[in-house]
Amino acid sequence: MTELSAPGQGQGEDTRTAELAQRISAVRSRIVKAADRAGRSDRLPALIVVTKFHPAEDIRRLAALGIKDVGENRDQEAAAKALELADLALTWHFVGQLQTKKAKSVARYASAVHSVDRTPLVDALAKAVGNEMESSGRAPLDCFIQVNLDDQTDDAGTHRGGAAPTDVPVIAERIAASKALSLAGVMAVAPLGMPPEPAFQKLAGISARLAAAYPAATAISAGMSQDLEAAIKFGATHLRIGSDILGSRPAVG
């Protein structure tokens, strides 16, 4: 593969669009292959393209290539892009750690939040989305409970966000009690420094227990560029793919 140019380097529109098309197609063939191997060719997961740090023009190119679901992990960036791209009728997925004070902003543009990991956040989202439903007629917010799959969570810095598996029922109950929120299922990021398969297997078990109590909550948001095959093997319904489609993110800081 050729070297990717960073966004905004003045590379021709057609070159970048062609590059994105080629990368989407490569990711889609990986998805199809992995689904085949998992015996689920009839149930392909949804592809969410995580566009954080990449410019709004790239999202416009993705939309022209048929992408409808995009993911962002910082409210300020997501809100600005959603406003700029309001003409595109995209579905915005919020996938990052979310402060309760940002709930009001997220409620204006996001269709789904994949990182619901505590009851105060549920309450803040319920209130904010409830207000938006009244004032602008938006639909209820799809909520994925983010689960921490790391067994040795401590202060060693391996924690990548999410609720303890034992906290999932109380968070689920709180989401289900709100008319403004719709309980979609679970979400996780594979812990660093261990193979993704056992992690996603554990997530599948947590998902099965949740769906036993809430039959509509069957979604599993799992799988990033590096581990989408493992996620598909263990039932992912929503993949969150960034760098394998957009290229590496510009360094932060």
Ligand X SMILES: *Cc1c(COP(=O)(O)O)cnc(C)c1O
Q: How far is the CB of 196 from ligand X (least distance, A)?
A: 12
Of positions 67, 95, 98, 236, contacts ligand X by CB under 6 A: 95
Question: Binding string to ligand X for residues 111 to 150, with x set by CB under 6 A, is what?
Answer: ----------------------------------------
Q: How far is the CB of 3 from ligand X (least distance, A)?
A: 18
Interhelix angle for 75-84 vs 56-64, to 10°?
A: 50
The reply on whether position 97 binds ligand X by CB under 6 A is no
Nearest-5° Cα angle at 172, 166 to 176: 165
| Alpha carbons 16 and 204: distance in angstroms, whole number | 37
Task: Give the residue from 108, 177, 165, 115 showing the smallest Cα distance to 145.
Answer: 115
- Look up residue 38 and give its DSSP letter: T
134 versus 226: smaller Cβ distance to ligand X = 226
138 versus 238: smaller Cβ distance to ligand X = 238
Burial class (CB in 10 A: 0-12, 13-18, 19+), 8: exposed
Contacts (CB under 6 A) with ligand X, residues 12-71 = 50, 52
The footprint of ligand X on this chain (CB under 6 A) covers a number of residues equal to 14
- Both tokens assigned to 124: 């803040």
97 versus 131: smaller Cβ distance to ligand X = 97
Span from 83-91, 116-124, 137-145, 242-250 in contact with ligand X (CB under 6 A): 242-250
Sign of CA dihedral 65, 69, 73, 75: positive
Residue at token pair 């970048």: 16
Please give the single-letter amino acid code of residue 118: R
Residue nearest to ligand X (CB): 242
1 versus 212: smaller Cβ distance to ligand X = 1
For residue 210, give the H/E element and its range. Answer: helix 196-213
| Alpha carbons 186 and 253: distance in angstroms, whole number | 31
52 versus 108: smaller Cβ distance to ligand X = 52
Question: Binding string to ligand X for residues 202 to 221, with x set by CB under 6 A, is what?
Answer: --------------------
| Alpha carbons 72 and 92: distance in angstroms, whole number | 8
Of positions 73, 148, 178, 207, contacts ligand X by CB under 6 A: 73
Burial class (CB in 10 A: 0-12, 13-18, 19+), 195: exposed
Of positions 96, 191, 235, 247, contacts ligand X by CB under 6 A: 96
The reply on whether position 224 binds ligand X by CB under 6 A is yes
Question: Binding string to ligand X for residues 164 to 203, with x set by CB under 6 A, is what?
Answer: -------------------------x--------------
Q: Which residues bind ligand X (CB under 6 A)?
A: 50, 52, 73, 95-96, 189, 224-226, 240-244
